[in-house]
Chain A
Amino acid sequence: MKIKLAKEEIESASIHQLQRISGEDLKKCYQCGNCSGGCPVSFEMDIAPSQVMRFLQLGKIEEVMKANSMWVCVGCLQCYSRCPKGCSVAAVLEGLRQTVLRKGEDFEKIKEIPIPFLEKAPQQAIVCGFRKLVS
């Protein structure tokens, strides 16, 4: 894939903000791919965890924001657990979710959550789902 790099994008305010919110230094990642290998949902992600890190290192936050990766991450911390550099893709993805949710934009509309789920599911699934997907 051919992409054009720009210094302004690599050092953009949104990249800085993401690093601040997530507490992660994106440059630390050296692209070994362990996170993508260990991630149980990378098969479902538009952009796999290690690629998320690479896109962000190159300032391509728009591409990552458009991808479903942050919304299908289950927060299992397998990526962090296996990263030889101590990076937490999980925290980066949460930082991206928070960027959306803190603007008051829901990913999951409460009205659209199926009633049978709300009646039958354990409370913790509902509380956790709201935390991750609803503003």
Chain B
Amino acid sequence: MKIPYYPGCTLNTFAKSFDESARSSALEIGFEMAELKQWNCCGATFPLTPDNLIALSAPAKVLSNAGKEGDTLTTLCSVCYNVLKRTNKVMRDNREKRSTINGFIEEEYDGAVNVLHFLEVLRDKIGFDKVKAAVKRPLTGIKTGAYYGCMLLRPFEDMGIDNAERPTVFENLLKALGAEPVEFPNRIECCGAHLAMNNEEVVTKLSGNVMTSAVGSGAELIVTSCPLCQYNLEKSQDKVASRTPGYTGVPVIYFTQALGLALGQPIETLGFEKNVTDVMPLLKKKGIV
């Protein structure tokens, strides 16, 4: 099975390990993520003001290109997923906006593509039981906090991947991989997002809240599904450690790196060396490597 795949600008560069570990894991499970022949940046923000149609033109172009390659589009970055899924809903349900945007991007796209996050592909198209059956190196005993952040879940009526307050999809995947999921209070709170650009203090506070909340609930590892969450959490580690008595840091990796690890892929192909935090001591301690 081939599923059209939109990497987005960050996964092609900064978050290459997110992209590569997902692609190789997919092959291991039995499907191929086929990168769209032509794509552009989605704009990295869904405009909250409904009159801002120009901001919908880039994601609409991506969707229109995807429509030429199949009826489904999968993506990994939570923000790309949010932007594409919400834009798709506008293109499907709002005739007037659809016609304006199509006129601008010179396409005839009607919202027919089904936008799926990679987690949804694993859960709904493949099945977590099949993922579990493919596990060769179970992550036994690793207490893992799944960090959802904002964009994967909200707004609920547009995203619909899971319950916006008490999601389970991530934890269920972790269980399939043999890990021990840890639900922590801040798993659906923001990391500080784009304030990384101009307000490091707020980002440190928010990302710090996420990490200390996870560690306080017993997590030894955090997994993410967004390169910006990953960046903010990793970048805040040292500052948070210097301010928080008893907190010494926690490794943060993309959930696909955990997936690839569990599926038995060679450690050196998973891109752990590109993470700021070192996950290897934990993996050694748990006897995984």
Contact = CB atoms under 8 A, between A and B. Distances in A.
Interface of A: 20-23, 40-41, 43-44, 72, 74-78, 80-81, 88, 90-91, 94-95, 98, 108, 113, 117, 121-129, 131-133
Interface of B: 8-10, 13-15, 41, 43-45, 47-52, 55, 77, 79, 150, 154-156, 164-165, 189-190, 192-199, 202, 205-206, 209, 227-228, 230-231
Given A40-B206, A77-B154, A131-B55, A113 B197 contact: yes
Given A23-B49, A40-B206, A81-B164, A127 B154 contact: no
A76 B164 contact: no
A60 B261 CA distance: 55
Contacts of B55: 131
Contacts of B195: 72, 74, 129
Contacts, number: 131
B210 to A, nearest CB: 10
| A22, A88, A127: residue with the most chain B Cβ atoms closer than 10 Å | A127
B150 A77 contact: yes
Contacts of A94: 47-49
A76 B49 contact: no
Chain A residues touching B, majority SS: helix
A122 B231 contact: yes
A94 to B, nearest CB: 4
Given A76-B189, A81-B164, A122 B227 contact: yes
B206 to A, nearest CB: 6
Nearest to B50: A23
Given A74-B202, A76-B189, A122-B10, 19 more contacts: A21-B49, A40-B209, A44-B205, A76-B154, A78-B189, A80-B154, A121-B14, A122-B14, A122-B227, A122-B228, A123-B44, A124-B44, A124-B77, A125-B193, A125-B194, A127-B9, A129-B194, A129-B196, A133-B194
B146 to A, nearest CB: 17
A17 B249 CA distance: 47
A9 to B, nearest CB: 22
B198 A133 contact: yes
Contacts of A44: 202, 205
Contact of A126 (B48, B165, B197, B202): B197
Contact of B194 (A41, A43, A95, A128): A128
B193 A122 contact: no
A15 to B, nearest CB: 15
| A23, A88, A132: residue with the most chain B Cβ atoms closer than 10 Å | A132
Given A77-B150, A88-B48, A123 B193 contact: no
A128 B193 contact: yes
Contacts of B156: 81
B193 A121 contact: no
| A76, A98, A122: residue with the most chain B Cβ atoms closer than 10 Å | A122
Nearest to B13: A123
Contacts of B197: 108, 113, 117, 121, 125-126, 129, 133
Contact of A121 (B45, B196, B202): B196
A91 B45 contact: no
Contacts of A88: 48
B6 to A, nearest CB: 13
A74 B192 contact: yes
B227 A124 contact: yes
